[in-house]
Amino acid sequence: MSITLTEKAAKQISKQLSKRGRGLGLRLGVKQAGCSGFAYVVDYADELADTEQVFEEHGVKVIVKPDDLALLDGVVIDYAREGINEAFRFNNPKATGTCGCGESFTV
């Protein structure tokens, strides 16, 4: 099982946690939603459950619940700026398709 952070994504997560003043890292999950079936859920992680998996890269932790690991294994998290928009981008090798707006994916 692996989740990879690019250096840009790690810097952005660090920056957000610093600005917030607390947090262990980023919690990444999925939920059924959107036009393609699943959507990524991103939040701050302030605590860690015994069952959660921790991935660390560039000094930043990404925390994933066991139920979400099968859909997230191999995902690469990047952070991109396009014009005035900036956001996390997910390159998921398990995704067989995405919706037109890029908010949801199919496996």
Q: What's the domain range around 97?
A: 4-106
Q: What is the CATH number of the domain that holds 96?
A: 2.60.300.12
| Residues facing 38 on adjacent strands | 32, 105
Give the DSSP letter of residue 102. S
**What are 46's two structure tokens?**
């302030």
Q: Whole-prediction pTM value?
A: 0.83
- At residue 13, the pLDDT reads 95
Q: What percent of the chain has pLDDT over 90?
A: 59
pLDDT of residue 100: 55
pLDDT of residue 14: 95
When divided into structural domains, the chain yields a total of 1
> Three-class SS of residue 19?
helix
Q: Three-state SS for 55?
A: strand
pLDDT at 66 over 90: yes
Residue 77 in this model has a pLDDT that exceeds 60: yes
Q: Answer yes or no: is pLDDT of 102 > 70.
A: no
Question: Which amino acid is it at 35?
Answer: C
Q: Give the pLDDT confidence score for residue 105 in this predicted structure.
A: 59
